[in-house]
């Protein structure tokens, strides 16, 4: 009887030790969440290096912390470090394959790294998951424009303007894409819309002036074009906006 009692005592002690050894795990998870919450606070305050450091601490404690990988990837994107951004967003996608935002941001990072086919693949997947996402449409339009596939670029950028009519970025890229095709009037319309939304942007005035100037060279070969005064006015507008 004493042996049995001793055995039970040792068994109970072993179980207790096991519980003690297992206890730090939830504590570390809570600590990781604390670092991530602090990272978000630093991000809101514009303290990006501190936000990055806190995300890294959270991930060190919880390597499968998808939200921390996602935020860290976007912080790197904000700093123009697209290689590191892609690395963190790849981990996010691996942990959460159906996360449309993660795939969209990964695709955008790939495009910035000139990995256009990889970028388009991720962006198309993101679009399947969330068809009406403005950022994904714009990124896809930009990617196809970089490839010289203006047909698909215009298709996605046109839909982006329908999703968000008051966003200058989509109109700008749409105008530039159309200027590479025979749709010069469409390019002018899109760039003028962008200028109404962001009149202080000198680059937009200049882009429109370039479209008119390119048309004027064609006009010299006998095709109708805008007047020199309109071109001069646009260039002057660009100078004043600069």
pLDDT the model gives residue 9: 46
Mean pLDDT of 94-123: 98
Hey, is 56 helix, strand or coil? helix
pLDDT the model gives residue 221: 39
Mean pLDDT of 86-98: 98
Q: Nearest-5° angle of CA 93, CA 99, CA 103?
A: 60
Mean pLDDT of 213-217: 61
Structure tokens at 232: 């001069």
pLDDT the model gives residue 210: 87
pLDDT the model gives residue 29: 67
The CA distances from residue 84 to 70, 192, 231, 236, in Å, are 11, 37, 43, 41
- Residue 190 or 27, more confident: 190
Residue 182 has pLDDT above 50, yes or no: yes
pLDDT the model gives residue 215: 56
- The 10s digit of each residue's pLDDT in 143-164 is 999 999 999 999 999 999 999 9
Residue 240 has pLDDT above 60, yes or no: no
What does pTM read for this prediction? 0.76
The CA distances from residue 119 to 111, 134, 144, 154, 184, in Å, are 5, 16, 10, 17, 28
* Nearest in space to 73 (alpha carbons), one of 86, 60, 56: 86
pLDDT band at 216 (very low <50, low <70, confident <90, very high): low
pLDDT band at 13 (very low <50, low <70, confident <90, very high): very low
- The 10s digit of each residue's pLDDT in 111-130 is 999 999 999 999 999 999 99
Using an 8 Å Cβ cutoff, are 175 and 154 in contact? no
Mean pLDDT of 58-79: 97
pLDDT the model gives residue 58: 97
Q: How far apart are CA 49 and CA 65, in angstroms?
A: 19
pLDDT the model gives residue 67: 97
């Amino acid at each position: 009887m004493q042996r049995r009692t001793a055995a039970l005592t040792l068994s109970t002690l072993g179980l207790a030790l096991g519980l003690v050894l297992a206890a730090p795990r939830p504590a570390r998870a809570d600590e990781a969440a604390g670092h991530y919450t602090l990272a978000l606070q630093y991000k809101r305050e514009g303290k990006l290096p501190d936000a990055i450091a806190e995300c890294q601490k959270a991930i060190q404690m919880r390597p499968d912390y998808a939200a921390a990988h996602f935020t860290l990837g976007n912080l790197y994107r904000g700093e123009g470090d697209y290689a590191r951004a892609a690395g963190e967003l790849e981990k996010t996608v691996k942990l959460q394959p159906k996360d449309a935002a993660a795939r969209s941001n990964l695709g955008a990072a790939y495009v910035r790294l000139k990995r256009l086919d990889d970028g388009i693949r991720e962006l198309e997947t993101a679009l399947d998951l969330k068809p009406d996402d403005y950022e994904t449409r714009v990124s896809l339009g930009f990617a196809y424009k970089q490839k010289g596939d203006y047909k698909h670029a215009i298709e996605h950028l046109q839909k982006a303007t329908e999703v968000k009519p008051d966003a200058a970025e989509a109109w700008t890229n749409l105008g530039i894409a159309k200027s590479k095709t025979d749709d010069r009037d469409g390019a002018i319309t899109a760039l003028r819309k962008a200028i109404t939304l962001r009149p202080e942007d000198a680059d937009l005035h200049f882009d429109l002036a370039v479209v008119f100037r390119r048309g004027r060279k064609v006009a010299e070969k006998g095709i109708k074009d805008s007047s020199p005064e309109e071109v001069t006015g646009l260039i002057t507008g660009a100078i004043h906006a600069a």
